[in-house]
Amino acid sequence: MPEPSTPTARKPRRYSVFAIAREAMRLHSGWERAWADAQPRGRYKVVVIGAGGHGLATAYYLGKNFGITDVAVLEKGWLGGGNTGRNTTIIRSNYLQDPSAAIYDKSLKLYETLSQELNYNVMFSPRGLIMLAQTEHEVRGYKRTAIANHLQGVATRWIEPAEVKRLVPIMNIDGPRYPVLGGLYQERGGTARHDAVAWGYARACSQMGMDIVQNCEVAGVDIAGGRVRAVETTRGRIECDKLAIVVAGHSSVVAEMAGFRLPIESIALQALVSEPIKPCMDVVVMANTVHGYLSQSDKGEMVIGGGTDGFNNYTQRGSWQHVEETVRALIETFPMLSRLKMLRQWGGIVDMTGDRSPILSATPVGGVFVNCGWGTGGFKAIPGSGWAMAELVAKGAPGPLAADFGMSRFAEGRFIDESVAAGVAH
């Protein structure tokens, strides 16, 4: 018999300067774990597969917005060990299509107050973001996006090369092949600490009484009468009324367990960081023509990334040829990179749809919902994605943010094409 469903909330202990001072007086011996290392129970109202940013945000907003706290978040490895801990932390909302701009701007607005809401410093840094135009085609495209953003109420603007140079003095705007012709600038864009976002949501979920179960891989989905009944895991069978699949690059694998297919493909995306150097760049720069993007971390490292691999795969490691390709492309615009040593590199598994927009949808199986297809831009969407997914799971039908991102759009030809506006889709 399954164990009774009895979620128990933990009384939150607030982090503050006074708490730090108090703990300093007793050699920091009184700190408690940020979240409980839960043992799975036999039954929950909702099971969320995937304890990355999107899965934890879904659970958090289920509790915050709908009072649903009988929730288990299952993670096959460690919390935040997938794409959440492997991305380059870019946050922006200046997308072309109306549905995209709406959900990404909702996410950005939530990021702006997330540290205060979660009582956990996610290190959100609205340092500004520039998308460089290095061809006449990009100039026309970004000016179009700036006008669309104005109509959508998303603050962004076109800037000329002189202002680009003023904002990023280390940049060479007169490159012989790809001179900088201007840029799309969003002052509200920036970065956050990827691990802290996951940890903050996990702490808040645990305080609500939700169970975060690590090292618990889903091996099967039990379907009866067209509805989900349970998931089979490496830590036993867990029954549920509703199931949310939020596993990024492994979405098609879990969907197959539930008996349906997803229109996505999984591809590795690689990134690297340089050795730490003194502060030299306080904005985020995306250069889609040469296929690279760059920011400087709080520790001084230059965070560098590029495009996806040219073939489907599930690898989570880097490759020398891809590093060479990305760095070679950026050196013309940022000559100083040629003098830096690489500190480390890594890879993540991204899930790409045909129109480069996500899927937030019910599925052919009753009680099963899926959140996937964020491609290489999932980190910036975490709060908005969780907000929209929680509404979908709680109500069984999408709200305004998720309405256009259903699976049926591919059969009906209602594409939300962001392949050009997103550039490399970051």
pLDDT for residue 274 is more than 90: yes
What is the structure's pLDDT at 8?
Answer: 62
What is the structure's pLDDT at 12?
Answer: 67
What is the structure's pLDDT at 11?
Answer: 67
pLDDT for residue 6 is more than 90: no
**CA dist 206 → 197, 200, 242 (Å):** 14, 10, 19
Tell me what percent of the residues of the chain surpass a pLDDT of 70.
96
Domain boundaries defined on the chain: 126-187+266-352
Residues 6+ apart with CB under 8 A from 244: 46, 47, 48, 49, 55, 58, 369, 370, 371, 389, 393
Q: What is the CA radius of gyration of the chain?
A: 22
- Sign of torsion, CA 73 389 293 112? negative
Instruction: Give the whole-angstrom CA distance, residue 402 versus residue 102.
Output: 10
Query: For 202, phi and psi rounded to 5 degrees?
Result: -60, -45
**CA dist 284 → 37, 91, 287, 295, 297 (Å):** 36, 9, 10, 5, 10
Residue recorded with tokens 């040829």: 321
What is the structure's pLDDT at 1?
Answer: 34
pLDDT tens for residues 25-69? Answer: 999 988 889 999 899 999 999 999 999 999 999 999 999 999 999
Using DSSP's 3-state secondary structure scheme, residue 159 falls into: strand
How far, rounded to the nearest angstrom, does the alpha carbon of residue 62 sit from its chain's CA centroid?
A: 18
What confidence category does residue 292 fall into, taking pLDDT thresholds of 50, 70 and 90?
confident
DSSP assignment string, 42-110 = SEEEEEEE--SHHHHHHHHHHHHHH----EEEE-SSSTT-SGGGTS--EE----SSHHHHHHHHHHHHH
pLDDT for residue 345 is more than 70: yes
Contact 284, 132 (CB under 8 A): no
Instruction: Give the whole-angstrom CA distance, residue 75 versus residue 203.
Output: 15
Average pLDDT on 321-336 reads 86
| Identity of the residue numbered 45 | K
Closest CA to 230 of 260, 257, 210, 212: 257
Q: Which CATH number fits domain 126-187+266-352: 3.20.130.10, 3.40.1260.10, 3.40.309.10, 3.30.9.10?
A: 3.30.9.10
What confidence category does residue 9 fall into, taking pLDDT thresholds of 50, 70 and 90?
low
pLDDT tens for residues 385-401? Answer: 999 999 999 999 999 99
Higher pLDDT, 311 or 409: 409
What is the structure's pLDDT at 179?
Answer: 93
pLDDT for residue 71 is more than 50: yes
Average pLDDT on 75-85 reads 93
pLDDT tens for residues 241-272? Answer: 999 999 999 999 999 999 999 999 999 988 99
Angle between helices 382-395 and 98-112 (to 10 degrees): 110
Instruction: Give the whole-angstrom CA distance, residue 59 versus residue 62.
Output: 5
